[in-house]
Amino acid sequence: MTGLVTGPVRKAAIIGGGVIGGGWAARFLLNGWDVAVFDPDPEAERKIGAVIANARAALPALSDTGLPPEGRLSFVPDIAAAVTGADWVQESVSERLDLKHRVLAEIQAASDAPVGSSTSGFKPSELQQGARAPGRIFVAHPFNPVYLLPLVELVPSPANAADDIAAAQDILRGIGMFPLLVRKEIDAHIGDRLLEALWREALWLVHDGIATTEEIDEVIRLSFGLRWAQMGLFETYRIAGGEAGMRHFMAQFGPALEWPWSKLTDTPPFTEALVDRIASQSDAQSGHHSIRDLERIRDENLVAFLRALKDRDWGAGRVLNAHDRLLADRLPAEAKASSATPDVANETELLVLPGWIDYNGHMTESRYLFAGSQCVDQFLGAIGAGIDYVRGGHSYYTAETHLRHLAEARLGDRLTGRVQVLGHDEKRLHLWISLSRRDDGGEVEIATIEQMLLHVDTGAGRTCAAAPGVLARLGDRAARDSRLPRPDAAGRHVGAGRPLPGLAVPA
């Protein structure tokens, strides 16, 4: 695939390199930004390196267009070196207001860049107290892992100019995030307030001996957690109201809010005994996994969830699709023209995704055919037989396929598919599809697919002649492809070559 371009490379400064700061570094870096990190922890480079390694294994699997070339990562000795020349500064130091004030003052002594704070609890007006340029500081609160979860709560105060916040939203969208503008300052913003309510109830359930940490997690991940991942709270309850919707749900379950079911405003005694109970139960639940193992398991599951939502253009998947379109818009003009012109374009770019991998760690056999189908779909669109043509009542149906598996493909491999017209008439289309994997040494052909397609009147359920415009474009394409060498394996049947001994058939 032609490398994506974003104009001049931009720089992000990450101040504080913990789990959140490392996630921000990965998010910017893998979206083509240069990243400078300052963290006094002598282990910061190692820790952030582990986060970025996780991101490299996960984030590219969410993009169908390909991410831009990775930016440059540097670790610098002080805040001034980090923020000099930065287009965005992300502060992610510990949740101590006095520390944040000192760090923000150092940042603004060396830079006029916008400063987003990852704070999970402080209001922007609190962060801005005593600042040289309070209007350049705002809350940009993400969720872990920052490189996969798209939401960032963008919280301004009256000191922030609307244009500056709009510009911040554009930057965040540009790195694939969903900047939710929180209109009013409030402690802990929106997400953490909701999480805090659930956390309090969970602590009470453990404290009172009603449930273990594992049982509580099973309740969440096997029931409403699955619903929340794709419909949230209110949309889920709207469905629970049946055909009458949310008004019926509120009328039916509203009185229960007055019952003493929850302890949202009370916290259980935070004693050593409670800490020991929770810690020991957590060890029994997950102690057989290292933290790095759990991170990888989490990321692989999130990628799978997000890919499913992406296919349906729903929830977080809609954000991912919007980012793909943004990345595609940044392709060089000549690459756009190439991909849009059927007389020039003959390639489809594909990325081997987690769901394509089998138990051997390779691309599973059915996905070779799926990848070939993607190439044919693009080809049909180029000759005028795409989805609009199908909606009009005509389509090409596959009548016969011969697939050869020639080499392996693994997670994250980039594939190139090419379609060649071997023959056609008004009702039939004979295609050859080649799939190749790009390696440092060049291309390796991993599969070939030979197909016979029939043109069909979908309403009548029988073959018919293709539309004149489709046949004209197909003729042009076939004439061009006739100049290509005919593949040696074209027309080959299964097992052609050295014959295998057959089984004796009983008389």
DSSP readout, 38-105? E---TTHHHHHHHHHHHHHHHGGGG-SS-PPPP--EEE-SSHHHHHTT-SEEEE---S-HHHHHHHHH
d(CA 258, CA 446): 64
Residue 209 backbone class (left: φ over 0; alpha: ψ -120 to 50; beta: rest) = left
Helical ranges in 177-286 per DSSP H: 191-207, 213-221, 224-231, 234-240, 246-253, 272-286
Annotated binding site for NAD(+): 16-21
What phi and psi values does residue 449 have, to the nearest 5 degrees? -135, 125
The helix/strand/coil state of 116 is strand
Amino acid at 123: K
Residue set of the binding site: 16-21
Going by the DSSP 8-state scheme, the letter that residue 358 receives in this structure is -
CB-CB contact of 150 with 316 (8 Å): yes
452 and 399 in contact (C-beta within 8 Å)? yes
Reading phi first (left if > 0) and then psi (alpha if -120 to 50, else beta), residue 158 is in: alpha
Which amino acid type is present at position 326?
L
Distance CA 156, CA 148 (A): 24
Residue 83 to residue 15: CA distance in whole angstroms = 9
Task: Count CB-CB contacts under 10 A for residue 387.
Answer: 11
Judge contact between 31 and 52, C-beta under 8 A: no
Q: Please state, in angstroms and rounded to a whole number, the distance separating the CA atoms of residues 8 and 10.
A: 6
Which string of b and e fits 155-187 if b means at least 16 CB within 10 Å?
bbbeebeeeebeebbebbbbbbbbbbebeebee
Structure tokens at 376: 């044919």
